[in-house]
Amino acid sequence: MKQQALEFAEKAHAGQKRKNSDAAYITHPIRVAERLEANGFSEELVCAGYLHDTVEDTLIEIEDIEGAFGPRVAELVAAHTEDKSKSWQERKQHTIDTIRNAEKELKYLIVADKLDNLLGLEEDLKQQGSVVWNKFNAGADKQKWYNQSIAGNMYVGLDNEDIPGYFREFEDAVKRVFGS
């Protein structure tokens, strides 16, 4: 099923590029899924890692995901899909609220996604400087608020043994990119 999810995502994201580079967009979902798999998470969660942006950023609908990958993968993807009809602030607040109250698998997906995005942003800032912020819907201050809020809410409801190492990696990246 994981190979099928990868191929599905590759087809859905064909021709798309990452925000600040010429890198194929699919490199992001692949890294998210690989991080989830490296942490020994379920096949459904790894598939959701590959597919997490398909409904939000392509013509794929959640029913397509459910039909191909079942209700659990669709549930994870749907819970992490932003409603693009809402403002940036509303969408990000919804994600913060979601991560605060989410079950652990959804937290794992969201943080794996946000970590990969933040590591990419960090690299872009090193290479291109502050011009990078011009390609975002919200500037550095709002991005700082958002990422710090994710970091501040991702541990809610988790026991120490349920916290993967990459949560701390995300916290460290937030501090490096935005300061404390």
Q: Where are the alpha helices (DSSP H) in the chain?
A: 2-12, 27-38, 43-51, 54-57, 62-69, 71-79, 88-101, 104-128, 140-153, 165-178
pTM over 0.75: yes
Query: What are the pLDDT digits (tens) for 32-70?
Result: 999 999 999 999 999 999 999 999 989 999 999 999 999
What's the structural domain count of the chain? 1
How many helices (H) does the chain have, and how many strands (E)? 10, 0
Domain assignment of residue 13, given as a range: 2-178
Q: Detail the DSSP E strand segments found in 35-115.
A: none
Mean confidence (pLDDT) of the chain: 94
Mean pLDDT of 167-176: 98
Confidence bin at 156 (pLDDT 50/70/90) = very high
Q: Is the per-residue pLDDT at 137 higher than 80?
A: no
What CATH number has the domain bearing residue 55?
1.10.3210.10
